[in-house]
Amino acid sequence: MRFIHLSDIHFRDSEVYREDDPNAGLRDDLIHDVKYMRHKIGYRANGILISGDIAFGGNAKEYNFALKWLEEELCPASGCDINDVFVIPGNHDVDRSSANSPMHSDARTTLRQYPQSDVNKKIREYMSHKTSARLLFDPIENYNRFAARFLCALGAYDDDKPDTKPFATRSCKLNDGSTLRIWGFNSVLVSDDTDSENRMLVDPAGAQIRREDGVTHLVMCHHPYSWLRNKADFRERIEAVAQIHLFGHEHTRRVEEGVHFTTIRAGAVHPDRDEREWKPGYNWIELNVDGVGADRYLNISVWVRQREGAQFIAVPDRYQNDPWTVRHKLQSWLRPADDNPRELLPINNVNVNAQHGGTAMSDGPTLRSVAFKMFRLNEHEQRQIIVLLGLDENGDQDLKDYEFALAAVRRSAERGQLEMLDHKIDDLLGWQES
């Protein structure tokens, strides 16, 4: 299983779509290197993991450009299907025009002033009421519209929206048939111009990840632990349960090898040019399992890439090895006797179950592939198809536009109508192109 790990792309609305975009050459160098690394490694990427700061100011124009770049450049270069992109928000994904309202400012001040021992309780109180929860999630509304097409939109728990959670998850198969579970957590529950170390707050749900037979956990969070005010329970749980920790935000100290887990920072695709060491970077990560039963090990290989001049080069480990390699002991697990040991399909051919993003193999449409295509339609077209197939329900009027579309896609899967919905979307898209 191979991933490209990116962070801090920082698409700026004042620069994108312009001939004099100062980062166009940098992105061209990155795409060139992705193609080179794909040839060197000998395999395509199965997924692209973006650990925050996709945009610079959290506005819609920046996300539109990000989607275009992913779909037309990065995904084709890596061989990864667009449906296999997984994203989390960073502080630059916060729309400050929304976050700077007096109510949002007061909420941030209140939460940041709480003692560390009590702040998780207060966050849960905010999460449990619709009005206060909006104060936490409204500033990433533009991000959520972008992330929804990848099934990565975030929100507070809500009995009326059972699929909405303050974190994103996805599951796929490793080479031995066991499960890799990817978790994306939100470290920008509060964010403003006063962000600094020990002032960010992460969703407390991260401290509730549980060990599961045959499951390897990979956790993504934009801010490293030192930035998190409520890090104690979160860090303790993640380090106890998850074997791979991916971060963004900090642009140096790329790989930290531990006994039980490995911490990997993406670097930054577009770091601030005023930084003392302006070194754009990204990673390729490969995961595979060897051994059986009580003798299972997770092997992690990380190709750390860094831009020098007009090209990306390898950053070797302390012994000058490229890639970095780490090996972790896994819990005992045996493949079920009825599990088909045939060659595993790439992520985009894995059907997504309602809870974690999918495990069963299929050559047909998946929840992710249909959701992505649904967002190619405008809102009127989406509603037209949803009503035609009877995928709307009472109570949907309280859903946001992207929540309404996702709820319909999920219902189609639950009712066995996913393929029918896929065909209806294709018909409408085909009519548009003709």
Model confidence pLDDT, tens digit, residues 254-266 = 899 889 999 999 9
DSSP SS3 for 83: helix
Residue 193 amino acid letter: D
Would you say residue 343 has pLDDT above 80? Answer: no
- Is the separation of the CB atoms in 247 and 51 below 8 Å? yes
Residue 7 domain-assigned? yes
Residue 64 domain-assigned? yes
Distance in angstroms (rounded) separating the CA atoms of residues 211 and 226: 25
Residue 350 domain-assigned? no
User: If pLDDT is split at 50, 70 and 90, which confidence band does 253 have?
Assistant: low
Please tell me which residue, 230 or 277, carries the higher pLDDT value: 230
Domain closes at, from 304, 329, 354:
329
Same domain, 283 and 199: yes
Percent of the chain with pLDDT over 90: 75
Same domain, 324 and 408: no
Residue 338 domain-assigned? no
Same domain, 277 and 402: no
What's the helix, strand, coil split of the chain in %, to 5?
Answer: 35, 20, 45
When pLDDT is averaged across residues 367-394 and rounded to a whole number, the result is 95
Same domain, 178 and 301: yes
Digit-coded pLDDT (tens) for 106-130: 989 999 999 888 999 999 999 988 8
CB hemisphere CA count around 249 (13 angstroms): 24
Task: Supply the pLDDT for residue 58.
Answer: 95
DSSP SS3 for 338: coil
Helices (H) and strands (E) counted in the chain, each on its own, are 13, 13
Mean residue pLDDT of the chain comes to 90
Task: Supply the pLDDT for residue 354.
Answer: 36
Same domain, 40 and 178: yes
Residue 337 domain-assigned? no
Digit-coded pLDDT (tens) for 68-92: 999 999 999 999 999 999 999 999 9
Strand 311-314 and strand 297-308: the pairing is antiparallel
Same domain, 270 and 409: no
Same domain, 180 and 246: yes
Same domain, 134 and 235: yes
Tally of structural domains, the chain: 2
Task: Supply the pLDDT for residue 224.
Answer: 95
Provide the residue range defining the domain that includes 306: 2-329
- Is the separation of the CB atoms in 21 and 9 below 8 Å? no
User: If pLDDT is split at 50, 70 and 90, which confidence band does 340 have?
Assistant: low
- The sheet carrying 244-247 orders its strands as 168-173, 179-185, 215-221, 244-247, 262-265, 255-257
Please tell me which residue, 388 or 434, carries the higher pLDDT value: 388
DSSP SS3 for 298: strand
Would you say residue 245 has pLDDT above 90? Answer: yes
Domain with residue 258: its CATH number is: 3.60.21.10
Residue 346 domain-assigned? no
What's phi and psi for 180, nearest 5 deg? -100, 120
User: If pLDDT is split at 50, 70 and 90, which confidence band does 328 have?
Assistant: very high
Same domain, 179 and 52: yes
User: If pLDDT is split at 50, 70 and 90, which confidence band does 432 have?
Assistant: low
User: If pLDDT is split at 50, 70 and 90, which confidence band does 415 have?
Assistant: very high
